[in-house]
Amino acid sequence: MEAFTLRDDMLLGAALPATQCEGGELESSWIYWWGLGYIRDHASPAVAAQHAERWQEDVALAKELGAQTVLLGVDWTRVEPEEGTFDESALDFYRAQLTALRDAGLRVTLELHRFTNPAWFEERGGFERVENLSAYLTYIEHVAAALGRLCQDYLTFAEPNAYAVGGYLGGDYPPGRRDPSACFRVLTHMAQCHVLGYSLLHQLHEAMEYPPCRVSVSLRAQEPLPVGSGRIAKALCSASRRAFDAAFRAFHLGRIELPMKYNKYLVPGTYCDFLSLDWYGEQRISEPLDLTPFAKRGEMGRPEALLGLLKRLHALAPLPLRVTLAGVEDGDRVDCLASYLRALSGFSLPVEQCVCSPLLDGFEWLDGNRRRSGLVHVDFETQERTVKASGEFFRSLASARAVDENLLKKFGAV
């Protein structure tokens, strides 16, 4: 790999996703799923990285590693443990983090939803039932009113397409359904929430005289590749691309295409201030199960696939771009980060942020604690934090804003 210099306008960041790092005995959909025995190593999300107790240490770690931006998750269950009852101490917890991150010079994007619902919302039918959607809008309005003075960037949803497919088509995420019609009904309702939430957040910031905000949604993206030359694998890849494109147009542009459902709130327009993707690389497809988010992990190897997708989406909505790279094990991490950052730094389109990984090892959904994707190793028994080789590479890169031959050799990148 050749040496390269990071583009001046691209911020480097790390993520602190709520359910994956916070811990705590919360009555959420994933605690329920763990209680039913669906987590492969039986690890509980109540443990995770105990970020809720150790957040000051983790903010200091993010600053120490040289992160310029943080993707900070907000747990709906923590904020609204019972319908209509908002926990002010939870909002104080997020307010304290935002203040500390701002004081440390880090820019924050609030991630308002990633896979996890309060148990009360799940029991009412979640996003499948249209009468429930106002509850989600009330939640994001309450969060923005409490925190909007400290943060101006929002993601209404992270990976809503993975949420819908995992929970309503593949059946391995809560609530465990296998119903294609329900899957796309849920995804359409989430698009409705995003479109309405986009306007709501802008109006609230203006009404409360907060600084203007920027709002978007981050879809899970990967390049499906057929295994072999069989018709079934090719058809599945084609269906996967069509479904992704339809979701992108619904959330970002208010356009309805099959397999999304008709929805009166989705009218043509622009419902994003930047484009954001959670990139999972290339996924080998041979059977329907391979399309689900709990299938075997994608291969992160070819940055060209990401650049091609970014070009295509930017042509539909010419806005600044943000990328979150899926976490991989440390044996491949440095080479992966170097290859993607090199490609993004030479890219012709405006990439304003690259979130390189979760900051911490944590709860990895069905994999529990056995897959470690953070820049920082967490001993789940002692909760001791230790910066990994990938974290040291991130620190060096963030400091120098460049990668030379010596740095590549030091960390074994090819």
Helix (H) or strand (E) holding 158: strand 153-158
Return d(Cα 135, Cα 125) in angstroms, integer. 12
Q: Helices in 254-388 by DSSP H: which ranges?
A: 303-316, 330-345
pLDDT at 265: 95
Give me the residue label for tokens 């109006």.
Answer: 203
Q: Which residues pair with residue 224 across a beta bridge?
A: 283
Residue 303, burial from CB neighbour count under 10 angstroms (0-12, 13-18, 19+)? buried
Structure tokens at 280: 């999972």
CA–CA separation, 287 vs 291, rounded Å? 8
pLDDT in tens, the chain (414 residues): 788 999 999 999 999 999 999 999 999 999 999 999 999 999 999 999 999 999 999 999 999 999 999 999 999 999 999 999 999 999 999 999 999 999 999 999 999 999 999 999 999 999 999 999 999 999 999 999 999 999 999 999 999 999 999 999 999 999 999 999 999 999 999 999 999 999 999 999 999 999 999 999 999 999 988 887 788 989 999 999 999 999 999 999 999 999 999 999 999 999 999 999 999 998 888 888 787 777 656 678 789 999 999 999 999 999 999 999 998 877 778 889 999 999 999 999 999 999 998 999 999 999 999 999 999 999 999 999 999 999 999 999 999 999 988 888 888 765
Do residues 36 and 171 touch, judged by C-beta distance below 8 A? no
How far is it, in rounded angstroms, from Cα 239 to Cα 217?
22
* Whether the Cβ atoms of residue 234 and residue 174 lie closer than 8 Å to each other: no
Q: Quick one: pLDDT at residue 413?
A: 66
Q: Specify the DSSP class assigned to residue 85.
A: B
* Structure confidence at residue 330 (pLDDT): 74
- pLDDT at residue 296 in the model: 58
To the nearest 10°, the Cα dihedral for 151, 152, 158, 164?
Answer: 110
What is the reported pTM? 0.96
Place of tokens 């989600």: 136
Q: What is the pLDDT of residue 93?
A: 98
Bridge partners of 323, per DSSP, are 277, 354
